[in-house]
Structure 1
């Protein structure tokens, strides 16, 4: 349980800095099977765009849901949906996870699709 507590401590620290900046937040959550991403309003009251590997059709395109290819696809989808909502710049909230593997793949794909952070 210590591992989760440490991750939550890191997440709380970075979320505090994001809240001070008053920026839209691209929040990422991962499980061993899936990756979830949301763009939230600066005050945290609303989710403006969301994408995840749970959505139908993604499993076939990326060869599974808990891999780097799936995370990249989620990154592209969240960037497209955020741009449709009129959001071009966000702060990346990695939720205390290391910037590595699926988290990194999602972030790089979102940047390539035009989202700035």
Structure 2
């Protein structure tokens, strides 16, 4: 098996392993994070009914908060705040973090910290 194919198989296995342990409800939805090179997308998903309750992307976030952070981390942090406030508006108090294939580090961690600061319990 070539190196690229091995990496792809490992990523798929990691995603399935993380996802198998997580199930979101309407009261405590799954906070699904997808991170690309340019953007981050976040959804709060009710797995019982198959609905997306809240969504946001990095295009909506603005940098400038947290001067010790780099631009990517600052944007992810502000995106977390946006998701947290939208969740509060939708009367969602807590969520389960679904990091997918990504490590809980860097932009994913900054996003979760921003959501916590906005009042969402993760």
> How high is the TM-score relative to the length of structure 2?
0.80
* Residue of structure 1 equivalent to 2:22: 18
Matches of 2:105 and 2:94, distance apart in 1: 22
Structure label with greater radius of gyration: 2
Structure 1 runs (4+) deviating above 6 angstroms are none
Check whether the contact 1:35–1:71 (CA below 8 A) recurs between aligned residues.
yes
Give the corresponding residue for 1:112: 117
**1:62 has 2:63 as partner:** yes
Measured in 1, the distance between the counterparts of 2:104 and 2:50 equals 26
In structure 2, how many angstroms separate the alpha carbons of the residues matched to 1:14 and 1:81?
25
CA distance in 2 between partners of 1:4 and 1:101 (Å): 22
Indicate the SS of the match to 2:115: helix
Match of residue 54, structure 2, among 49, 54, 69: 49
Q: What secondary structure is seen at the aligned counterpart in 2 of 1:54?
A: helix
Task: Report the Cα distance in structure 1 between the residues aligned to 2:90 and 2:12, rounded to whole angstroms.
Answer: 29
Q: How many residues align?
A: 110
SS of match in other structure, 2:21 = helix
Gap regions ≥5 residues in structure 2:
65-70
State the distance in 2 between where 1:4 and 1:114 align: 36
| TM-score, normalising length: structure 1 | 0.83
Matched, 1:74 2:75: no
5+ residue gaps, structure 1 = none
* 1:44-77 Cα shifts (integer Å, max 9, x gaps): 611000111123xx3xx316xx711111111000
3-state SS, counterpart of residue 107 of structure 1? helix
